[in-house]
């Protein structure tokens, strides 16, 4: 994720992680921001007022699409469609109230749903909800679209509050909420869209409209729910998705990795965009790391100058960032460090809701592919470069017609790179935010030399305690957010990665993982020890987050949060990393 400051607004997709945005960090601290899937988990679950139903008709009166038992509905299948033109369109919705949620006449559409809460009562919540067909939607990715307008909806305390258009699911693994964020104020009719991944073990699924922790008025119309994708299925046989699929001498799970000699494991760290030659000589020369993840970050994360820049301005910044990389690549080669070039800030940056603008504007998507072609030409003959991390922690909403979603964009970009550079690795992270669970929804691309990467910050309330509103003093192993976390629980959280690797025999790269340095006692050490041992067990490459970046992640700083200077005696966390770095073999001949 990189240097983090401020708050993040996103399209939510919660799973195992827990988090909350809170304090505004100083710019120089730039602490790690809460990923999308971590925010909404803290919300109180919506309690349905009646048992889930299996609707047989769409709200417009037309039969809804039905799937054959045992088969998933095809992509494009419309499960629900309504324009609320008639009052009867709300017959299957619960939560209607004459004063708070009701059908109203609205020209020229004929009618719509209005939800309003009086300012005199302060911030309140009110929802209307409708059951979704659970048996049909297991393991599907739903696209939800709705037209919404608002009048004086008060800014709520959290970015995920406000006007709500949401899918809420309940399963044995816990409740999940999927919805857009930062919807408040006064605005005319606008199209709102988001994607919701439905678990295979879902027990209840609800479509929810309303207002949350606010007051004001919101109108809803032209609601549509359709299937836009599926959870990947285990292949009947292991496909040849990578040019190097045979196990390497490093172990039964260590697939031969493009850009590396057989048996080479990358163990290193993510570095600051302002990294110096001295920093590299400490990390690679003294500590023996053989890898750095080099982030191309423009000004901050998740938001920065790229959010307002055009393509020409972005290209000018990128050239300056690449010149810094070019200057230090000879040092990396001398030290035997393999570099992962990480596009931390893509063209267009992010919209206020955290979604990359390249998933909404074609000019940025075209620039993304074109710039990777230029970088492939620039670095194809550089032995110190290991590979290209296409984009850091991808986030997308419901992709407009004429644009590529991340699965499509990643594959097309990888093909273009491979036509230019046949050697270096191409690293692909899943949506949302590079989460381990995201690999359940990513299909391997049909391009040789691809490495699949995730970031590991589970459980978030432990790794990020004391920032973003998370309470401090959370121990590991121990109870975090109502669950006991130990090494086995971490292994379960990483199970989607383990299964993906087994299914396709592809290399895995943990591009980021960390624990805040002021976790109580030896908790941070214990966590890092356990996750690294899991990475090593499965032959994964890894990069610690981060070296000489924000001091909250620094293994050169002690456990005292108020001490902003490195301490002279090596910390137990530093010694742990260095003990693994000592096992490194030269990554360069």
- Report the range out of 57-71, 104-118, 476-490 with the highest average pLDDT: 476-490
The residue with tokens 């006064």 is: 186
| pTM for the full predicted model | 0.85
- Report the range out of 7-21, 33-47, 480-494 with the highest average pLDDT: 480-494
Q: How far apart are CA 577 and CA 572, in angstroms?
A: 9
| In this structure, CATH architecture of domain 42-230 | Sandwich (2.60)
How many helices (H) and strands (E) would you count in the chain?
11, 21
- Whether residue 220 contacts residue 165, with contact meaning beta carbons closer than 8 Å, is answered with yes
**Considering the chain, what is the average pLDDT of its residues?**
86
pLDDT class of 19 with cuts at 50, 70, 90: very low
Residue 97 has pLDDT above 90, yes or no: yes
Which of 46, 59, 17 is CA-nearest to residue 34? 17
Residue 156 pLDDT: 95
CATH topology of domain 264-465+507-581: TIM Barrel (3.20.20)
Residue 586 pLDDT: 85
Q: How far apart are CA 94 and CA 312, in angstroms?
A: 51
Residue 54 has pLDDT above 50, yes or no: no
What average pLDDT does the segment 40-59 reach? 35
> How do residues 151-174 score in pLDDT, each as one tens digit?
999 999 988 899 999 999 999 878
Peptide bond before residue 546 is cis, with ω within 30 degrees of 0: yes
- Whether residue 492 contacts residue 485, with contact meaning beta carbons closer than 8 Å, is answered with no
Paired residues of 190 in beta bridges: 148
Q: How far apart are CA 454 and CA 530, in angstroms?
A: 17
> How do residues 366-400 score in pLDDT, each as one tens digit?
999 999 999 999 999 999 999 999 999 999 988 88
Q: What are phi and psi of 29, to 5 degrees?
A: -80, -45
What average pLDDT does the segment 3-31 reach? 32
- Report the range out of 24-33, 90-99, 484-493 with the highest average pLDDT: 484-493
Residue 242 pLDDT: 46
Q: Which residues are CB-contacts of 481 (< 8 A; sequence separation ≥ 6)? A: 18, 41, 459, 461
Residue 226 pLDDT: 95
Domain borders along the chain are: 42-230, 264-465+507-581
């Amino acid at each position: 994720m990189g240097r983090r400051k401020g708050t993040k607004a996103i399209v939510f997709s919660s799973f195992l992680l827990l988090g909350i945005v809170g304090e505004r960090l100083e710019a120089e601290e730039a602490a790690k921001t809460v990923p999308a899937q971590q925010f909404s988990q803290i919300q109180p679950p919506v309690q349905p007022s009646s048992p889930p139903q299996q609707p047989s008709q769409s709200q417009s009166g037309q039969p809804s699409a039905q799937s054959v038992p045992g088969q998933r509905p095809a992509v494009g299948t419309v499960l629900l469609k309504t324009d609320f033109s008639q009052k009867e369109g709300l017959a299957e919705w619960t939560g209607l109230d004459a004063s708070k949620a009701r059908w109203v006449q609205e020209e020229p559409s004929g009618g719509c749903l209005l939800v309003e809460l009086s300012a005199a009562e302060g911030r309140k919540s009110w929802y209307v909800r409708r059951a979704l067909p659970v048996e049909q939607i297991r393991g599907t990715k739903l696209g939800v679209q709705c037209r919404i307008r608002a009048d004086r909806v008060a800014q709520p305390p959290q970015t995920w509050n406000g006007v709500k258009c949401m899918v809420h699911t309940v399963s044995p693994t816990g409740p999940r909420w999927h919805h857009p964020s930062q919807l408040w104020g006064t605005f005319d009719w606008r199209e709102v869209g988001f994607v919701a991944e439905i678990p295979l073990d879902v027990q209840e699924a609800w479509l929810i409209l309303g207002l949350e922790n606010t007051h004001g008025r919101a109108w809803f119309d032209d609601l549509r729910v359709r299937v836009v994708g599926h959870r990947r299925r285990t292949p009947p046989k292991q496909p040849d998705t990578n040019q190097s699929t045979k196990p390497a001498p490093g172990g039964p799970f260590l697939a031969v990795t493009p850009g590396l000699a057989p048996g080479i494991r990358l163990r290193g760290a993510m570095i600051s965009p302002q990294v110096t030659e001295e920093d590299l000589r400490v990390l690679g020369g003294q500590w023996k790391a053989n890898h750095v993840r080099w982030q191309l970050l423009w000004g901050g994360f998740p938001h920065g100058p790229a959010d307002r820049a055009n393509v020409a301005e972005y290209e000018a910044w990128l050239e300056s960032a690449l010149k810094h990389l070019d200057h230090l690549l000879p040092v990396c080669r001398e030290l035997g460090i393999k570099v992962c070039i990480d596009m931390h800030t893509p063209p267009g940056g992010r919209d206020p809701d955290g979604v990359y603008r390249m998933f909404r504007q074609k000019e940025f998507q075209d620039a993304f592919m074109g710039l990777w072609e230029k970088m492939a030409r620039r670095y194809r003959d550089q032995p110190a470069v290991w590979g290209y991390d296409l984009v850091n922690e991808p986030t997308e909403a419901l992709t407009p017609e004429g644009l590529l979603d991340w699965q499509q964009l990643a594959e097309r970009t990888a093909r273009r790179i491979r036509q230019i550079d046949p050697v270096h690795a191409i690293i692909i992270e899943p949506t949302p935010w590079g989460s381990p669970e995201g690999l359940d929804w990513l299909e391997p691309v049909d391009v040789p030399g691809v490495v699949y990467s995730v970031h590991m910050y589970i459980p978030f309330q432990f790794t990020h305690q004391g920032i973003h509103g998370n309470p401090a003093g959370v121990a590991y192993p121990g109870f975090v957010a109502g669950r006991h976390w130990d090494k086995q629980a971490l292994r379960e959280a990483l199970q989607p990665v383990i299964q993906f690797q087994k299914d396709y025999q592809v290399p895995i790269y943990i591009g980021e993982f960390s624990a805040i340095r002021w976790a109580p006692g030896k908790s941070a050490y214990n966590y890092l020890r356990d996750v690294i041992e899991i990475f090593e067990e499965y032959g994964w490459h890894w990069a610690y987050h981060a070296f000489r970046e924000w001091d909250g992640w620094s293994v050169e700083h002690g456990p005292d949060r108020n001490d902003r200077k490195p301490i002279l005696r090596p910390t137990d966390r530093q010694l742990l990393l260095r003990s693994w770095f000592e096992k490194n073999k030269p990554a360069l001949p």
